Amino acid sequence: MRLSFERKTTIGYIINMVVVLALGLIYWIQIPFSTNRLWHWISLILIVLSLGMLTTVYFILKTQLKARKQSREALQKNQKLLQSIIDNTTNAISVKKLNGEYILVNKQYQSFFDSKASDLIGKTNADFLPKEIADRYRSADLEALKAGKDIQIEEIIEVSGKPQTFLSVKFPLKDASNRIYAIGTISTDITERKTVLDSLKAADAFFNMSTDSLVIASEDKFIKINPSLSKLLGYSDTELLSQPFKSFIFPEDIESTEAEIEKLKQGISLVNYTNRWVCKDGSIKWLSWNATADKTTGALYAIVRDITEKLKLEQEKENTLNALFESQQKLNMILENITDGVLVANTNKEVILANDVANSLFGIEDDSKISFNFSDHFKVLFPDGEQTFPAQDLPAQRALAGKTTDDVDVLLKDLSTNAMRRVLLSGRPIINHDNQVAAVVVTIKDISRYKNLEAELEQKDRDSRPMIGYKYTGDKKKSNKDET
């Protein structure tokens, strides 16, 4: 049976007390009473002092043992508390001897290797890791040992077979003699943070490389701008960031800009808001803003585009359209006052414009329904009315080939009524700036009435010739006098 030191002390105290008392009793019995009384008192005092000293020593030992026990319990409590703290931190903590043997690891560090503390304590990395990885970890520990102070390094640690990035603080541990006896390591997993930082770097690079102007601002000043805005307005970054941005806005647009900022603060996004900004060279530029606000921070995020040239082009386009409309109106007035039919067709052989005379001739109000070669409405014949006129020789077809044709005399036979109409067809190409045919213009001059009048006059002429002594012989006219 093993006895505790405290119990041994108590038993020793009792034994010593018994021995002293026994010796005192023996002495008291053996000493003759005839001796000097002084010696009796001295002996008694010595016995009492011995008993007192034994008791004092006993209680001193008892007190020391109690203090030691309390210290040991406090130490154990602190050790448990410390172990609990390091086991519940998200950081991986380890302590190694100078030879690389583990003497302390927390649970987070144990999870790196899917092991328990008992599997790691007393072992080195070389005992359970591939040599290449173990050597890499050892080199990192030796750096702290050589430096003699704490160092911070970024290292790759295999966690469950996957490489993770850790920010490790390594520091030497010293004993009471100020000698290094171990290396401590506290590692923080920064894999996710590093990914975020890499993303932020990429975003920052994108921010600076964007051809659009990108802005982060408070309600009155720029917080961050990309080079595109500086280049656009001609100011340096320092100039733009150091002054309220309304100092760069065209005075007449400041009030409306402030109103839009109030909308942003209320959570209403800004879409294609335009205002004018004064450039460093004094010129005015129109900028289009698409912006949103972060209600948490109050920051405004915006994409800015220079639309000065776009607005200029739109104005020029509007002016051109107005001029074209005016020209169209004038053209329509001219066309409607021309007695000839006029058709305008594109290169797809689609009629895009016809005047009233042409509409009346074809009996169609919708210009687009007029046939380019008249084939849906008329049969085109030579003037003799017998032979069909070749479609490829029609002025419209020749105009598509870039050729001009004037006054082609043809008969138009209506497909539904068989009515005949004598017309002169002319065609001209419209050439664009690339010297290509863009459209064709065909004019239709109805000469039926003139031909009828001509026929009537010829008939009257034939009828009157005999009366005045002339004989009509077709193209040959002779007088009776010449015949005789």
Residue 125 structure tokens:
């990395």
37 to 26, 30, 49, 50, 400: CA distances (angstroms)? 17, 14, 18, 20, 162
Task: Convert the pLDDT of each residue in 139-160 to its tens digit.
Answer: 988 988 888 898 998 888 877 7
Among 46-50, 175-179, 374-378, the range scoring the smallest mean pLDDT is 46-50
251, 245 Cβ separation under 8 angstroms: no
Q: According to the model, what pLDDT value does residue 484 have?
A: 38
Largest CA distance in the chain: 226
The residue written with tokens 């408070």 in the block is 218
Q: According to the model, what pLDDT value does residue 101 have?
A: 93
Taking the C-alpha atoms of residue 257 and residue 236, their distance in angstroms, rounded to an integer, is: 22
Name the class of domain 210-306. alpha beta
User: pLDDT category, 479, cuts 50, 70, 90?
Assistant: very low
Q: According to the model, what pLDDT value does residue 384 have?
A: 87
331 to 130, 297, 323, 326, 353: CA distances (angstroms)? 91, 62, 12, 8, 11
444 burial (CB, 10 Å; 0-12 / 13-18 / 19+) is buried
- Rg of the Cα atoms in the chain: 58
User: Can you give the residue ranges of every domain in the chain?
Assistant: 5-83, 89-194, 210-306, 338-446
Q: Is the dihedral of CA 305, 311, 317, 321 positive or negative?
A: positive
6, 65 Cβ separation under 8 angstroms: yes
The dotted CATH code for 338-446 is 3.30.450.20
| Average pLDDT of the segment spanning 194-217 | 79
SS3 letters across 62-93: HHHHHHHHHHHHHHHHHHHHHHHHHHHCCCEE
Residue 157 structure tokens:
């640690």
Taking the C-alpha atoms of residue 118 and residue 96, their distance in angstroms, rounded to an integer, is: 14
Does residue 299 carry a pLDDT above 50?
yes
Does residue 102 carry a pLDDT above 90?
yes
Instruction: Name the phi and psi angles at 184, rounded to 5.
Output: -100, 150
Of 80 and 481, more confident: 80
Does residue 47 carry a pLDDT above 80?
no
Does residue 3 carry a pLDDT above 80?
no
Does residue 133 carry a pLDDT above 80?
yes
Taking the C-alpha atoms of residue 199 and residue 39, their distance in angstroms, rounded to an integer, is: 99
47 to 28, 366, 446: CA distances (angstroms)? 10, 146, 164
Convert 67-98 to b/e letters by CB count within 10 Å (16 or more is b).
Answer: eeeeeeeeeeeeeeeeeeebeeeebbbbbbee
| Average pLDDT of the segment spanning 301-317 | 91
Task: Convert the pLDDT of each residue in 432-466 to its tens digit.
Answer: 888 999 999 999 998 888 877 877 777 777 777 77
Does residue 162 carry a pLDDT above 90?
no
Does residue 478 carry a pLDDT above 60?
no
Taking the C-alpha atoms of residue 155 and residue 165, their distance in angstroms, rounded to an integer, is: 6
In one-letter notation, the amino acid at residue 175 is: D
Give the contacts of 465 (CB within 8 A, at least 6 positions apart).
Answer: 471, 472, 477
| Average pLDDT of the segment spanning 388-408 | 92
454 to 51, 169, 450, 460: CA distances (angstroms)? 172, 116, 6, 10
Architecture of domain 89-194: 2-Layer Sandwich (3.30)
Taking the C-alpha atoms of residue 179 and residue 19, their distance in angstroms, rounded to an integer, is: 50
Does residue 239 carry a pLDDT above 70?
yes
The residue written with tokens 């760069």 in the block is 248
